[in-house]
Structure 1
Amino acid sequence: MAVPDKDQQPGKQEADLDREVGELVGRLTEPGELEPAERRKLLGRLARSLTTASRRARESGTGRGRWLADIFLNIAPRIPIRDLHTLSEHHHGLTGEQLADDLVRTAQKATMTVGAIGGALAAAQFAAPPLLLSAPAQLVAETIVVAAIEVKLLAELHEVYGVRVEGTGAQRAVAFTAAWAKQRGVDPLAPASVSLALGAATKTALRNRLMRTLGRHLTTLGPFLTGAVAGGALNRVATKKLGQAIRDDLRVKLPASAERGRLEPPERGRSDP
């Protein structure tokens, strides 16, 4: 009796697919500018991978929201999060509130670019708004990437404001994802904030947040390039709103007055001793 090729086993195929999706999202959220052609190419590859994943989800009877949440939780630990020193280096030596300002602007530009590309490509497939698993794969890919960019922003704002989230890389990724779903910062004083981040209520919040993000992108379906304009603008506004909400929340969670002082920009006309 012939032994099935292990490369064709369903479990390995799914693991390979998860790894490919994670690597593509990681590349799309790395620091630095991507050439438009390269970004478009990576989004196209991600869309094809997600098409395969959604087909398997339909075959297994997985719910639409659960499928999208499971995909995101698999890639969350691969989102590249920079420490404070690296952030300052990558943003021309900025610190404190000025660094936070620049992080939000950079994230807005990134989600706006992804939205413009996704909206333009989806416009070519213009149709009545479909259900999730039959939605244009490009918009599902856009939803995943935008969510990843915003989780990255949220995590790096924690670094800027000195609100340290303990745990392994995977645990911290889950905690930041849970915080993104609820649109607020992680509470460092809550001992269960990391270990219980994936409770039933949090999973429901994540599914709802991802579905709302996808729903926003579905509204960009339209003829010609109207989707590109709408996609970019809606993402920019949503990312700005998230950045402001997280910054307001983290200012309250600052661990000490010394940390608050560190965040204040230097007064003009004064020089350090």
Structure 2
Amino acid sequence: MAAPEKDRQPGNETADPEQEVGELVGRLADPGELEPAERRRLLGRLARTLASGANKARETGVGRGRWLADVFMNIAPRIPIRDLHTLSEHHHGLTGEQLADDLVRTAQKATMTVGAIGGALAAAEFAAPPLLLSAPAQLVAETIVVAAIEVKLLAELHEVYGVRVEGTGTQRAAAFAAAWAKQRGVDPLSPASVSLALGAATKTAVRNRLLRTLGRHLTTLGPFLTGAVAGGALNRIATKKLGQAIREDLRGKLPPGGRSRELDQG
């Protein structure tokens, strides 16, 4: 039986939840500006889709941590990573360290905004006890989006510092996700680092990092606007810390010669 017209409005599609999650995360992780109302709408839609997936996982006995890692590893290859030329174009011709500075600032702003929206939604639910059970789905959505923004930042910093990660899209996505979980860069001199990224150890590391991030977001549950303030601030600090750690690590992996000089001049 065909679904009623009201159930087939934009934003209610459920034919392929995994694809929908990937598309929503991609839009929310994009560095372009989104109107606050649109960002809030997309985050709410993502929360609803993830809540449906979590319920199905629970019915099959899959734990939240494992399900969360599965979702993220499935969408990681869909996170758009810009090459160096595109990055420079999108950041007013900046190169080298100045470009890296701008990438980190942009990522901080993005995760801060998502945290503020997620925290505000959670605070609103806190103020309405009957709806409190829906808050975790919103914070799970925030966690997934923040992780995607940070993985995107990490991957694009590799472009800026000339540390190329070879492999298929899936392999590279897994390698960047593993690097994010460990808060360090990918070692280009170790081919095994890419192939091993597809293994169980990586999924465990990603799961643990996602659960730590989710735990951080759970601390933003509070009345009124306290959740919004806390959510934004905690995300900004964490993203800045990640950017600093990855940049320091990648500087030690710079190839000798021209690329190093080019970066210094940037």
Q: 1:227 is matched with which residue?
A: 227
Q: 1:173 is matched with which residue?
A: 173
* Equivalent pair of 1:171/1:194 in contact (CA under 8 Å): yes
* Equivalent pair of 2:111/2:235 in contact (CA under 8 Å): yes
* Equivalent pair of 1:220/1:230 in contact (CA under 8 Å): yes
TM-score by length of 1: 0.88
Q: Deviations over 1:225-245 (max 9, x none)?
A: 100000000000000000000
Q: Give me the CA root mean square deviation.
A: 1.6
Q: Which protein has the bigger helix share? A: 2
The structure whose Rg is larger is 1
Three-state SS of the structure 2 residue aligned to 1:222 is coil
Shift of 1:40: 0.6
Q: One-letter code of the match for 2:94? A: L
Shift of 1:31: 3.0
Counterparts of 2:159 and 2:223, CA distance in 1: 42
Q: State the 4+ residue runs in structure 1 displaced beyond 4 angstroms.
A: none
* Equivalent pair of 2:81/2:155 in contact (CA under 8 Å): yes
Q: 1:141 is matched with which residue?
A: 141
Shift of 1:200: 2.7
TM-score by length of 2: 0.90
Counterparts of 2:144 and 2:33, CA distance in 1: 19
Q: One-letter code of the match for 2:122? A: A
Q: Deviations over 1:177-211 (max 9, x none)?
A: 01001100000000111111032322221111000
- For the pair 1:198 / 2:188, whether they are aligned, the reply is no
Counterparts of 2:36 and 2:77, CA distance in 1: 26
Q: How does 1:9-158 map to 2 (within 5 A)?
A: 16-126=16-126, 136-158=136-158
Three-state SS of the structure 1 residue aligned to 2:197 is coil
Counterparts of 1:173 and 1:201, CA distance in 2: 15
Shift of 1:265: 3.4
Q: One-letter code of the match for 1:91? A: H
**Structure 2: gaps (5+ residues):** 1-12, 128-132
After TM superposition, the structure 1 stretch with the greater mean CA deviation from structure 2, 90-99 or 36-45, is 36-45
Q: 2:252 is matched with which residue?
A: 252
Counterparts of 1:47 and 1:162, CA distance in 2: 36
Shift of 1:137: 1.0
Q: 1:17 to 1:104 in 2, by over 3 A?
A: same
After TM superposition, the structure 1 stretch with the greater mean CA deviation from structure 2, 245-254 or 257-266, is 257-266
* Equivalent pair of 2:139/2:214 in contact (CA under 8 Å): yes
